[in-house]
Amino acid sequence: MASRKPDDFKKIAFVNFGGIGDEILFAPVIEEVHQYLPHAHITLFLEDRSRSVKELLPQVDSIKELNVQGQSRIKTFYQLWRMLKGQYFDAVISSGSSPFIPILLWLTGIPIRVGFKTGGTSKSLLTVEAPLAPKHDRKGYAGQMYFALAQSFLEWMLKDQYTPMNPVLPHLKRPSLEDLHWAKSILRPDESGGKILLHPGVSAISIQKNILKSWSPVCWAELIQKLTEEGHRVYLVGGPDDKEAVAEICQHLPARLPNFTDLYGQTKNLRQLAALLVASDLLLCVDSSPMHLAVGYQKPLVAMFGPTDEKKLLPPDDARFQAVTVEDLSCRPCLWDVRNDCCDNPVCLNPSVEAMLEATHRALALTSNAL
């Protein structure tokens, strides 16, 4: 195949399924390609449950939604094939390790096809193969794994004229002045004490699939009281899926607690949650979409991790992003590597309040030093 130049690419499709967190992990792929192909129209194919992430990805011109949950993979692939085939893209860049993906991309007729190396089909049917470790040996940051797609494509096209992003981090669209003004009117940044955003929940889909990642409401309540007693201001936030978790935490708090504000229901969209994150000093959370959102704004965070692997989900060697786990637990992390749902005795979900408090103090000290 003849070499291609940046001007040859007018329309590029990116394909990445998953939740909002998965789309944020994938964001550096889009950002990197856009940097070198700034005039290409970018379309992102994603699950309908993640549509709101479009507001945070400045390089994406349009999105195409697919209803993936609850339907067969064959039906999803057929729908994706029809959507890709009718759009006349110059290139398609797709995540996913299924050996059927190279076949699907080849059947679309799109001339440049970029995907992960998965065996004979990818070697025969893809234009560019990106390296992918076997599932049992994927140890590093997932954002770096996705980034191999952009790096392989741009190295193929630009050769030694290409210098990869380092470190690999998502960079999300800054909230509007209107949203920031709204957030600052709530958090009052001119007042003393750390401004701590606390998001305790996970998606309803995770709970339905027995993918448990939440911390005890009693522990959250105890941590809130300790932080407010120290003079920090804690703001409890959550979306529709978090109603029960927020209510349980509030049940264990005094009716009137100085320096604490329940903001549940006041964030109407992802943009407003992003504005609160940007205006705050720190996010406390579990392994969830808000955690990835904080990474996308390079906002310090403390995340409680249970069965999932923090080394895969947080950027490495970055003190701004801290994980708290139950130490010396030989069975964790287990989710995805060993099993696809949680065990009957998830002791990994019980780190101490003291451990979370110490990590919060370290994160707040880091924030203070940055001022």
Same domain for 227 and 117: no
Q: Does 221 fall in a domain?
A: yes
Q: Is the dihedral of CA 341, 138, 330, 354 positive or negative?
A: negative
Q: Does 170 fall in a domain?
A: no
Band (371; pLDDT cuts 50, 70, 90) = very low
Distance CA 79, CA 255 (A): 51
- Among residues 161, 190, 205, which one ends one of the domains? 161
Same domain for 185 and 140: no
- Among residues 128, 161, 194, which one ends one of the domains? 161
Q: Does 95 fall in a domain?
A: yes
Residues 26-42 have a mean pLDDT of: 97
DSSP assignment of 108-154 equals TT-SEEEEE--SHHHHHH-SEEEP---GGG--S-HHHHHHHHHHHHH
- Among residues 132, 161, 190, which one ends one of the domains? 161
Same domain for 110 and 11: yes
Same domain for 212 and 129: no
Same domain for 142 and 12: yes
Both tokens of 166, joined, read 């380092």
Measured in whole angstroms, the distance separating CA 302 from the mean position of its chain's CA atoms is 15
Same domain for 56 and 32: yes
Same domain for 227 and 98: no
pLDDT of residue 58: 96
Both tokens of 200, joined, read 């305790």
Q: Does residue 198 carry a pLDDT above 80?
A: yes
Residues 6+ apart with CB under 8 A from 235: 186, 187, 195, 196, 197, 198, 260, 261, 263, 276, 280
The secondary element (H helix, E strand) that includes residue 243 is helix 243-251
Q: Does 253 fall in a domain?
A: yes
Q: The CATH number of the domain where 304 resides is what?
A: 3.40.50.2000
Same domain for 290 and 257: yes
Question: Tens digits of per-residue pLDDT, 249-306?
Answer: 999 999 899 999 999 989 989 999 999 999 999 999 999 999 999 999 999 999 999 9
Q: Does 108 fall in a domain?
A: yes
CB 75 within 8 Å of CB 45: no
More confident residue, 219 or 344: 219
Same domain for 202 and 110: no
Domain count, the chain: 2
pLDDT of residue 190: 74
Mean pLDDT of the chain: 92
The secondary element (H helix, E strand) that includes residue 79 is helix 73-85
Q: Is the dihedral of CA 300, 148, 111, 68 positive or negative?
A: negative
Half-sphere exposure of residue 3: CA atoms within 13 angstroms, side-chain side:
8
Q: Does 274 fall in a domain?
A: yes
Residues 6+ apart with CB under 8 A from 120: none
Same domain for 358 and 210: yes
Q: Does 20 fall in a domain?
A: yes
Q: To the nearest 10°, report the CA torsion of 176, 178, 183, 188.
A: 120
Same domain for 211 and 133: no
pTM of the model: 0.94
Structural domain boundaries enclosing 72: 6-161
Q: Does 172 fall in a domain?
A: no
Same domain for 265 and 308: yes
Question: Tens digits of per-residue pLDDT, 115-150?
Answer: 999 999 999 999 999 999 877 677 899 999 999 999
Q: Does residue 1 carry a pLDDT above 90?
A: no
